Amino acid sequence: MKNKTIIPFYDIKKYPNEVLVVDAHHPQGFDLSHWRGAAVPEQCEADTSTEIVLKAIQNQLPELGKTYVTNNHYDIDGFLGVWAIFNPEKALRHYDLLVEMAQIGDFREINFQYSEWRKALKLVCWLNEAEAEIFYPPFGAPEIAEKEMEACVPKYAHFLDAFNALIDLSIKEIPSTEEFLLVLNHLDKINQQETVQDIRINIVQAEQPLHYYALYSKSQQADIVMSIYPGNRYELEFKYTTWINTTRKHFPRISMKKLCNQLNAIEETEKKWEAEHFTDTAPILRLTGEKLSKKERYQSPCFRLIHSSSISPEDFQNICLNYFREHYKPLSSGETLDWTEIRNLNAKIFT
């Protein structure tokens, strides 16, 4: 495989049909991505972009011979896919580890049946901490960078080398981070967890607001995660798995505006229930104070203020479950719809 060069996303137009686009979509590039609208090569279907790349390497796709590689953002799944293109033989040796890392990083899920899940988690947390310390955290691009698609390029250049030296180490040799220890601690803070199968909602009751990797760790069969904390504190969030194209069968996203209206009708505090539009990468239903930035919403619940509601846990849970059960009843879980289809579906449901 000839040498590769990582380029900014907007430079694709300089090299039409010569660019591999990982974990993003561009009509002038060759996509290896789970984004909606990106055509996945035959026999490369997978949930994460990283595994799509790994299957492309296994299948020896001729398009992998292209010179340039790009992404319009930096995250764990995108990085691991790019790294695999630069290191194909090594990537295949670590196939399962890379897939587990991508699912932790992108979906916040942990496969506890996988023998090396702790190593995968430790590597993801190391990458997260190094990214924040050396550069900036997700959605925290400095003002001097016009867009993430430009500011992310130095991250790729740095971690392509740094990760190479780390992946072959044993778990004991990989440095522990505060985040890794926090996730392990928070896994023990979960009191109760269940998935309501008919509407694919995972309900987590915990002693305190959790790190996302603990909160979502067992949500593989769910499209939505509801968290219930002491003091009548709650959040409900659509998973990122319903924003992208996956092999999973899931319900289409529906608006939570009328659910907010139901909750606000009985909420006795001065706060209001709000949720982002269903096209957001991960809309959160929450009792609001100050509006959260994208960076703050991406951070784990344990790092943001979750306000107490006047609504009891039982009532909150029943109202939310009944809402989705009512609107999902005429629907069925299935393939990922495009955004036009989802908008039309929501217009039909809520008119």
The pLDDT-based confidence of 140 (bands split at 50, 70, 90) is confident
pLDDT at 142: 63
Pick from 215, 197, 205, 203: nearest CA to 251 = 197
Other CB atoms within 10 Å distance of the CB of residue 263 = 24
Q: What is the mean pLDDT of residues 163-169?
A: 95
Q: What is the mean pLDDT of residues 147-164?
A: 91
Give the whole-angstrom CA distance, residue 72 versus residue 84: 17
Residues 6 or more apart whose CB falls under 8 angstroms from that of 206 comprise 186, 189, 190, 191, 215, 227, 228, 229
- Above pLDDT 90, what percent of the chain? 87
Pairing mode of beta strands 68-70, 19-22 = parallel
Among the residues of the chain, which ranges form H helices? Answer: 49-58, 76-86, 88-93, 95-107, 117-134, 148-151, 153-164, 178-187, 212-215, 257-266, 294-298, 313-328, 339-349
- Residue 139, pLDDT above cutoff 80: no
Mean pLDDT of all residues belonging to the chain: 94
Residues 6 or more apart whose CB falls under 8 angstroms from that of 231 comprise 308
Q: What is the mean pLDDT of residues 312-316?
A: 98
pLDDT at 258: 97
- Residue 275, pLDDT above cutoff 80: yes
What torsion do the CA atoms of 56, 61, 67, 71 make, to the nearest 10 degrees?
A: -30
Q: What is the mean pLDDT of residues 117-143?
A: 90
Sign of the alpha-carbon torsion through 244, 250, 211, 179: negative
pLDDT digits (tens, 9 = 90+) for 5-32: 999 999 999 998 999 999 999 999 999 9
Q: Which two tokens stand for residue 165?
A: 């030296």
Q: What is the mean pLDDT of residues 216-230?
A: 98
* Model pTM score: 0.95
- Residue 146, pLDDT above cutoff 80: no
pLDDT at 292: 81
- Residue 109, pLDDT above cutoff 60: yes
Q: What is the mean pLDDT of residues 246-273?
A: 96
Q: What is the mean pLDDT of residues 220-246?
A: 97
- Residue 141, pLDDT above cutoff 90: no
- Residue 37, pLDDT above cutoff 90: no
Give the whole-angstrom CA distance, residue 194 versus residue 222: 10
- Residue 171, pLDDT above cutoff 50: yes
The pLDDT-based confidence of 145 (bands split at 50, 70, 90) is very low
Q: What is the mean pLDDT of residues 116-126?
A: 98
According to DSSP, residue 209 is labeled: -
- Residue 1, pLDDT above cutoff 60: no
pLDDT at 289: 77
- Residue 2, pLDDT above cutoff 70: no
Give the whole-angstrom CA distance, residue 257 versus residue 185: 35
pLDDT at 138: 83
pLDDT at 168: 96
Q: Which residues pair with 287 in a beta bridge?
A: 273
